[in-house]
Structure 1
Amino acid sequence: MDFELLLVVATLVSGLIWLIDRLAFRPRRRARLTNEARALGNEAGIESGQVNDNEPLLVDYAKSFFPILLAVLVIRSFLFEPFRIPSGSMMPTLLVGDFILVNKYSYGLRLPVINTKVVPIGEPARGDVAVFRYPEQPEVDYIKRIIGLPGDTVRVDGQRLWINGDEVDLETTGRYEGDANLKHAGLTQAIETLPEGGPHQILMDTDRRLGSAQWTVPEGHYFVMGDNRNHSNDSRFWGFVPESNLVGKAVMIWLHWNWQDGGFDAGRIGRSIDTVDAD
């Protein structure tokens, strides 16, 4: 059971316990206690509300936790959800150990668990860093950059990229030295400028040859790639992301902590993902 489903179930159960008690059992409990108080001559206690209705512990817990669970559910499902970056596929934009916030309403409000869009608000744009449910394993969340929109033709030939027949501008800027564990240090760093999507930084392993292929993005789907081009499992290998699999747009880094390196980097906190520079 994933966390989102567990949160929905916990919120529903605690709310139902509180509601059923409020409508059915509390009135009976209070009536019984009121009759007992009258029998003991405690009329003053009845009038002043001092008669304790001995609320069951389960109901007390449900009443206490329900508003908290409901608030977390609403924020996480419709506003922002935290994620941790577990791999280097989006380097240098995002590093292993980055904790990010994902805007859940950028691509429309969706019901939790079933992920059905109920309020259309916006659509993905080329260049967005998006979180989505991995099509081959929907319980796993992936994060990649949106390269191709519905109807686009995307072509990859080696390290170069074409969109709708136009070659995407690519400017090499030097060697990458920012990876603390050195797994990707020494890769070629470049600035790629997508049409309508603006510039972003990517990493390329020029010693590894990428193949040549072309795709046409079907309606209701998106073509995604990682910024670490030679070290990313993305649409080049498993196909397109259905619109129904989208979770939201990554917008900000709120913490960086890499347990493997024991590294806490306060300098990355609060950085907008749209403007993250390589270290």
Structure 2
Amino acid sequence: MARGRKEKKKKERPPPPPRFSSAWFLDWLRTLIFAAVIFVVFRTFLLATFVITSGSMEDTLQVGDFLLVNRVSLGSPIPLTNFRVPGYAEPEHGDIIVFRADHSPGLDIVKRTLGLPGDTLRMDGGTLYRNGVALDEPYVRRDPRSPDSTDARMVWQTAHLVPDPTRGEYEPTRDTWGPIVIPGERYFMLGDNRDSSLDSRFWGLVERKKMRGTPFFIYYSYDREALKPIRFLTAMRPGRIGPSPD
């Protein structure tokens, strides 16, 4: 008996509230609010998803690839403020990055980082030169059937041209332009499908604060142009599932 009195009684859990009672609804409301907060924090600061809908990054990324994007690496903006959570890395040459497009508000796009602040870039006949050195770009896809062309949108480059008193009228083309100097906090982004990509050549530089993250994993992929019913299931590309290519 003495031993029994010394034993502490275990606290019994209160019974769950009756279904559809006010207490039951309150419990569910708390659970839903907690789940919503976790989801918002997760999507805002940690991880995002992105779907490739254009061929500008082929063959590295293909139309129908579903990507996981690391938002921690480059830092994330804090909603409704001008502040952002610092990241643990800065963009480097060759990084594939998802960013918010100035030329199309509300749209996120993905390109490869080819110019950092302070770099001098030019292109001659489709070959990209950075700081005077021709780049070896094995990831680039070219279309010999697509002729070079001018584009009025490229006039933005004029403000960043390297001074040259012998230069006449500046007439850039898709494959021949520059040299331009990349200013601070700005980045030059190009698509790997070089002849079918609207990128920094046309709409300009990307602000550092507009960068949203780096893709790191393809979690699903299917051929959106396959002539099959229910392509999402019947035209799967399981071989593409895995770490995102560089």
Choose the corresponding residue for 1:202, options 132, 137, 140: 140
| Pair 1:219-2:184 in alignment | yes
CA distance in 1, matches of 2:45, 2:221: 24
Counterpart AA for 1:94: L
Counterpart AA for 1:268: R
| Pair 1:231-2:169 in alignment | no
The equivalent residue for 2:225 is: 260
The equivalent residue for 1:94 is: 61
- 1:96-153 CA-to-partner distances (Å, cap 9, x unmatched) read 0000111101112432465742324211111010000001223000100000001111
For the Cα contact (< 8 Å) 1:258–1:264, is it kept in 2?
Answer: yes
Calculate percent identity across the aligned residue pairs.
37
Query: Cα RMSD over matched residues?
Result: 2.4
Counterpart AA for 1:117: R
Bigger helix share: 1
Bigger strand share: 1
CA distance in 2, matches of 1:225, 1:219: 18
Tell me: CA distance 1:56–1:140, structure 2 relative to 1, closer, same or farther (3 Å).
farther
Where do 1:144-223 residues align within 5 Å?
Answer: 144-169=111-136, 192=137, 200-207=138-145, 208-209=147-148, 210-214=174-178, 215-223=180-188
- 1:61-85 CA-to-partner distances (Å, cap 9, x unmatched) read 4312122222222221222211100
For the Cα contact (< 8 Å) 2:74–2:86, is it kept in 1?
Answer: no
Counterpart AA for 2:122: R
Q: Secondary structure at the match of 2:196?
A: coil
**How many angstroms does 1:58 deviate by?**
6.2
For the Cα contact (< 8 Å) 2:75–2:212, is it kept in 1?
Answer: no
CA distance in 2, matches of 1:103, 1:122: 11
Structure 1: which 5+ residue stretches go unaligned? 1-46, 170-191, 193-199, 275-279
For the Cα contact (< 8 Å) 1:154–1:163, is it kept in 2?
Answer: yes
**How many angstroms does 1:258 deviate by?**
3.1
TM-score by length of 2: 0.73
CA distance in 1, matches of 2:80, 2:105: 11
Choose the corresponding residue for 2:207, options 232, 242, 246: 242
The equivalent residue for 1:111 is: 78
For the Cα contact (< 8 Å) 2:76–2:86, is it kept in 1?
Answer: yes
222-231 or 206-215, which deviates more = 206-215
- Report 1 or 2 for greater relative contact order, CA contacts < 8 Å, sequence distance ≥ 6: 2
Structure 2: which 5+ residue stretches go unaligned? 1-11, 149-173
